[in-house]
Amino acid sequence: MAGKDNILYDNHGRVMNYLRLAVTDRCNLRCFYCMPEEGIKYVPKNDLLSYEEMERLIRLLATMGIRKVRITGGEPFVRKGMIDFLERITVIEGIEQVHITTNGTMTANLIPRLQKMGIKSINLSLDSLNPDRFFEITRRNVFYKVRETLDALIEAGMPTKINAVVMEGKNEQDILPMVELTKELPISVRFIEEMPFNGSGKDGSGIKWNYVEILSHIRSRYPDLEKIGDRPFSTSQNFRIPGWEGSVGVIPAFSRTFCGTCNRIRITPKGMLKTCLYDDGVFNVRDLLRNGASDEQLRAAFLDALSNRAKNGFEAERNRQFGMPVKESMSTIGG
């Protein structure tokens, strides 16, 4: 099955049509579940994939069946030249959708250009509606900027999802107010289980707020919460409260219930291909590019990587050779 007609299938028969590209590991926030307070050791600039290299990869992957690209990071908009890059990749033949995940601190006034170039949607990371709790979580006092971005996205009619990581003792008070945002706003609020990628090397003893707990908490206040259809390959289970404008989702990112339909590959800022969020990287695409690989050689390397893909995130985690996930910061993967 793997690699039929150069199309990216894995050894379990799953098609790969979605690329998550982390364009930088740098960030202007320090969300404690993602990065330690002192930050991480950033990749030297020359070791980051260049814009030209990323564009070549997207063009190549489009010929192998990739149709959707999500730009993530680090914070994508801290990298200079991002808008020009986005303008180039949104017109690549075969790429049907480009989406962005952002912390929203530098995004508000870019929205008209993002809309004009056809960015399909924005995922805005916002873990609290309370400025003090926002500060406690992100270690930066910029709640109002993110709120301004949310308001501007809605005003512009840009399809928007809020991503909120739910953490014991940090923001459980925000779950219901965030659900209540969907009463008037046509957005999707998705609650994500905390994953062990915090760059600190410290692992907790599992999580209290798994998707079952989050849903039961919402149901205790809103018993009429009803299930709605999930899109193909969706990682979120989606719900709504009858009559409300928006929807609510839960993403079992730690429980990993969605691996059976996983259609995504990841490329990190320094060019590591990950065929699972939980693996420690399969091969370095940047090194191949810089060693003069032809498109044919690159295609062969991708097909080979997919022919040996872990069945699920648990297997990928067991197969890791370079230490526990907690040593990695999510900003070096992209989420």
Which residues form the interface with ligand SF4 (CB under 6 A)? 27, 29-31, 34-35, 73-75, 103, 125, 330-331
Q: Which does 30 bind (CB under 5 to 8 A by kind): ligand SF4, ligand SAM, none?
A: ligand SF4
- From CA 292, how far away is CA 298, in angstroms rounded? 10
Binding of ligand SAM by 25 (CB under 6 A): no
For the CB of residue 308, give the shortest distance to ligand SAM in the complex, in Å: 26
For the CB of residue 125, give the shortest distance to ligand SF4 in the complex, in Å: 6
Q: In what order do the strands lie in the sheet with 97-102?
A: 226-227, 237-240, 247-251, 188-193, 160-166, 121-125, 97-102, 68-72, 18-22, 264-267, 272-274, 283-284
Q: 56: exposed, middle or buried (C-beta count within 10 Å: 0-12, 13-18, 19+)? A: middle
The secondary structure of residue 278, as a DSSP letter, is: T
Beta bridge partners of 191: 164, 250
Please give the residues from 240 up to 269 whose contact with ligand SAM meets the rule CB under 6 A.
253
Nearest to 211, CA basis, from 231, 245, 239, 169: 239
Taking a C-beta distance cutoff of 8 angstroms, is the pair 50, 99 a contact? no
Residue with smaller CB distance to ligand SF4, 9 or 77 = 77
Residue with smaller CB distance to ligand SAM, 102 or 182 = 102
Residue with smaller CB distance to ligand SAM, 54 or 195 = 195
Please give the residues from 152 up to 171 whose contact with ligand SAM meets the rule CB under 6 A.
163, 165
For the CB of residue 66, give the shortest distance to ligand SF4 in the complex, in Å: 23
Binding of ligand SAM by 73 (CB under 6 A): yes
Binding of ligand SAM by 332 (CB under 6 A): no
Please give the residues from 195 up to 214 whose contact with ligand SAM meets the rule CB under 6 A.
195, 197-198
Cα separations (Å) of 44 from 24, 47, 96, 253, 256?
11, 5, 32, 30, 33
Residue with smaller CB distance to ligand SF4, 75 or 213 = 75
Neighbours of 118 (CB within 10 A): 13
For the CB of residue 167, give the shortest distance to ligand SF4 in the complex, in Å: 12
Cα separations (Å) of 248 from 234, 240, 255, 262?
13, 6, 18, 21
Single-letter amino acid code for the residue at 229: G
Q: Which stretch binds ligand SAM (CB under 6 A): 80-88, 190-198, 261-269, 299-307?
A: 190-198
For the CB of residue 334, give the shortest distance to ligand SF4 in the complex, in Å: 8
Position among 17, 24, 72, 188 found at the interface with ligand SAM (CB under 6 A): 72
Position among 8, 58, 150, 192 found at the interface with ligand SAM (CB under 6 A): 192
Residue with smaller CB distance to ligand SF4, 65 or 249 = 249
Residue with smaller CB distance to ligand SF4, 29 or 152 = 29
Single-letter amino acid code for the residue at 70: R
264 in helix, strand or coil?
A: strand
Phi, psi (rounded to 5 degrees) for 226:
-120, 145
Pairing status of strand 18-22 against strand 68-72: parallel
Give the residues lining the site for ligand SAM (CB under 6 A): 27, 33-34, 72-75, 101-103, 125, 163, 165, 192, 194-195, 197-198, 253, 330-331, 334-335
